Structure formats: structure tokens, C-alpha cells
Amino acid sequence: MQITPQTLEKAVAADIITADQRDRLLAFLETLPTAGPRFDFTHLL
């Protein structure tokens, strides 16, 4: 699952998180490395 700004905006609209929490989470996620090993469905084929 990809966490996008649009996904977090939907969470704000649904009152799951606050706008401040969204902003802080986005800032945190931007500090994480974006590339690395992953395993997904295509590995099963």
C-alpha cells in the first residue's frame, strides 16, 4: 500500500487524523529512504 498525500487527506476528511497530524506524518515520511528491497505479487509469478 502506498501512502500518498491524497490518502492522508481522505483520513483527515473522515476525521481519523487531524490536519496537523497529516502534516507531521508527511514531513516524517519524506525523510525516509524511498528505494530498497521489496517483495510483491509479481515475485510469486
1-45 pLDDT tens trace: 688 999 999 999 999 999 999 999 999 988 988 767 777 777 676
The 3-state DSSP composition of the chain as helix, strand, coil percent (nearest 5) reads 55, 0, 45
Q: How far apart are CA 13 and CA 45, in angstroms?
A: 38
pTM: 0.68
pLDDT for residue 45: 67
pLDDT of the residue at 27: 93
